[in-house]
Chain A
Amino acid sequence: MAHGPAKGITRWLFTTNHKDIGTMYLWFSFAMFLLGGVFALVIRAELFEPGLQLVEPAFFNQMTTMHGLVMVFGAVMPAFVGLANWMIPMMIGAPDMALPRMNNWSFWILPFAFAMLASTLLMEGGAPNFGWTFYAPLSTTYAPPSVTFFIFAIHIMGASSIMGAINIIATILNMRAPGMTLMKMPLFVWTWLITAYLLIAVMPVLAGVVTMMLMDIHFNTSFFDAAGGGDPVLFQHVFWFFGHPEVYIMILPAFGVVSQIIPTFARKPLFGYASMVYATSSIAFLSFIVWAHHMFTVGMPVAGELFFMYATMLIAVPTGVKVFNWITTMFRGSMTFETPMLFSVAFVILFTIGGFSGLMLAIAPADFQYHDTYFVVAHFHYVLVPGAIFSITAAVYYWLPKWCGNMYNETMGKTHFWMAFLGLNLTFFPMHFVGLAGMPRRIPDYALQFADFNMIASMGAFLFGAAQILFLFNVIATIRGGKKATDEVWENPEGLEWTVPSPAPYHTFSVPPEVK
């Protein structure tokens, strides 16, 4: 059993080791993060000034679409799966994931899916241009021919996510060390367990909706085509039945990461562990009954608008419980602000801002004004960038010394944080104002009164992009050398992952640890 990794490229191609696969997931997601980031910078460069400067409107639409798809399915989701692969077995005292071969497969189909998606940019008629939400009939009747490649790419990504989720559930349910009861599991494991169930429930719905599109386009059905008795609004219902749980898929593991990091640097145990578990479960449940708040303007009866409005606002309660618990964990703690903690504290503050703008959007009568404006763009970037992206970054800084045995450069880490923090607020905060003033989303040009705020946003975006290059440099420098990290890395951190040596050996917990 005690053998090291194989040599050469085959180590990565054939590996069934959870650490190798986790590493590949993380590098892949970082590559996609840069690709999606380049698309975003094309958008921001075009919007730097009013008028059309750099790209054609048709290409601009392809950029907004590809940016959304690559960031959601290529950057955020695989990054969390990578973290789950690395950390869950080490946190619950398991030797590896439950289904190691499937684990290899679920990673290796991803590069093919994204190669296929990216190749549409070079095709005749261009890449998908209908927005990441691909509403029918834009994505069926009026779609470019490359839509079929997009559909198959989504199918493959869905299959990968489903396999990853099955693997995570099987690992958590069956592979825990003796004594590791469910209510003793670290919160990251808990949030991932719930996330994995969400994935199992809704990724097949996504596969279903793109399959229906495929049939409408090629096999003469009319699920979404009014001429044949179908209904385009049905598309939006099915899509958002997937789409709303999907946004929690992207944020629940982030909650878990932050719940691991804040206690370490506040030097206090997490406040309200059990309430965190129940709050996460309630959010997951509520995510299934709020989907139509994305479509208040389709013409719903008042009863429907009221139901979805109140159900949506209800989510603020468990989310508020979580924010309260994080703040209470920090309250009177002896806090220090290393890079992971900086990102986590910023997460709590900025995610809450995103939550508040979400509450504003939940108000059905007001949503008619906000719908499809930059206010919506500001809202979901505030929950995704300082939410999902900041938590992933925090997790990398937090566990990187455990992964590679070296400490990262703290000064560079803090510089990264302040650049990213400043950059993202400059980018996304002005979007609230232009959105409330009526600037619609997904347009390559805008009215003159929005010019100043858009210029600020574009400058912030390039600052944020530059910060990520610094991050990449810091991570590579840490892997190649640096101060040796201790086994504990931080001061008395909680969790089984800190009981193994740094760097974590290729095989950990071949003999299950004893959990008291």
Chain B
Amino acid sequence: MSRSIKQSNAITTLKLLGVVVGMFVFAIYIMPPLYNLFCEVTGLNGKTGGQYQATEIKVDTSRTITVQFVATNNENMSWGFKPMISSIEVHPGEEKEIRYLANNPTDRQMVAQAIPSLVPFNVVEYFHKTECFCFNQQMLEAGASAELPLRFIVDQDIPRQVKTITLSYTIFDVTDRTTLAAASN
């Protein structure tokens, strides 16, 4: 093989290796954040946002929206977990507080994380939480129970046709995950 061909082979190889590394980085470091951003913008997976700072706004008493609450246990989660009321009527702009009831029937301390999901997807940006137990992990001693608060405001700009919002929480057992994290710290 002549020298110039060897050289161009080396250059081609290096360039292509660059693409390979680039695509690997793209898959691990760019696609997941991009996906989360996309979901946040579109509300696609029904994930509600973080804590909302309430501002002085007028309550729109001309409209009433039903907010329904749903609770699901992730497969092996042994906690009792349910909303204290299954639905509530709110006016847009009005702040409401409801509670979920959780109890740990096992004989060991456990840590849980609730993950929200909201339908219809396109109203995610109009549903604000000023306080939510899902912002933090919840720890319960063996046999203990707790009332978990949730405060929320439905934005008064919510589209007119929306009459019902369903907010669902799935509760996951993250005990192992947290003890592992604590151990590694």
Could you tell me which A residues sit within 8 Å of B by CB distance?
Answer: 95, 98-99, 162, 165-166, 169-170, 173-175, 200-205, 207-209, 211-212, 220, 222-223, 226-231, 233-234, 237-238, 241, 299-301
Contacts and interface: CB of A to CB of B under 8 A. Distances in A.
Contact of B24 (A175, A207, A228, A237): A207
Contacts of B174: 227-228
Contact of A226 (B9, B19, B35, B115): B115
B113 A208 contact: no
A299 B44 CA distance: 8
A230 B44 CA distance: 14
Contact of A220 (B16, B32, B181): B181
B55 interface: no
Contacts of B31: 205, 208, 234, 237-238, 241
Contacts of B126: none
Contacts of B28: 208, 211-212
B23 A202 contact: yes
Interface string B4-24: 010011001100110111111
Range class of the B interface residue count: 35 or more
Interface of B: 1, 5, 8-9, 12-13, 16-17, 19-24, 26-28, 31-32, 35-36, 39, 42, 44-45, 74, 113, 115, 121-122, 170, 172-174, 177, 180-181, 184
A200 B19 contact: yes
Contacts of A222: 177
A215 B21 CA distance: 18
Give me the 8 closest cross-chain CB pairs, A-B, nearest first: A208-B27, A227-B172, A204-B23, A204-B24, A205-B27, A170-B12, A98-B9, A208-B28
B13 A170 contact: yes
A222 B42 CA distance: 22
A98 B23 CA distance: 23
Contacts of B17: 166
Given A204-B20, A228-B174, A238-B32, 10 more contacts: A99-B13, A173-B12, A175-B5, A200-B23, A207-B27, A208-B27, A227-B113, A231-B36, A234-B35, A299-B44
B35 A231 contact: yes
Contacts of B181: 220
A201 B23 contact: yes
Given A166-B13, A301-B121, A238 B23 contact: no
A223 B33 CA distance: 10
Most chain A CB within a 10 A radius of its CB, from B24, B121, B177? B24
A119 to B, nearest CB: 26
Nearest to A142: B75
Nearest to B113: A227
8 contacts: A174-B5, A204-B24, A211-B28, A227-B74, A227-B115, A241-B27, A241-B31, A301-B44
B12 A205 contact: no
Contacts of A98: 5, 9, 12
Give the secondary structure class of B's interface. helix
Contacts of B24: 204-205, 207-208
B111 to A, nearest CB: 10
A200 B174 CA distance: 38
B66 to A, nearest CB: 22
Contacts of A204: 20-24, 26-27
A228 B113 contact: yes
Given A169-B12, A200-B16, A212-B28, A205 B23 contact: yes
Given A166-B13, A233-B45, A301-B121, A228 B177 contact: yes
B178 to A, nearest CB: 10
B140 to A, nearest CB: 16
Contacts of A231: 35-36, 39, 45
Contacts of A212: 27-28, 32
A204 B177 CA distance: 29
A237 B32 CA distance: 10
Contacts of A202: 23
Given A99-B13, A174-B9, A201 B172 contact: no
A96 to B, nearest CB: 8
A196 to B, nearest CB: 9
A211 B23 CA distance: 13
Nearest to A300: B44
A170 B20 contact: no
Nearest to A222: B177
A495 B8 CA distance: 26
A174 B11 CA distance: 10
B91 to A, nearest CB: 28
B159 to A, nearest CB: 15
A99 B9 CA distance: 8
Contacts of B45: 231, 233, 299
Nearest to B180: A220
Contacts of B16: 165-166, 169-170, 200
Contacts of A220: 177, 180-181, 184
B35 A237 contact: yes
Contacts of B9: 98-99, 170, 174-175
Contacts of A226: 74, 115, 170, 172
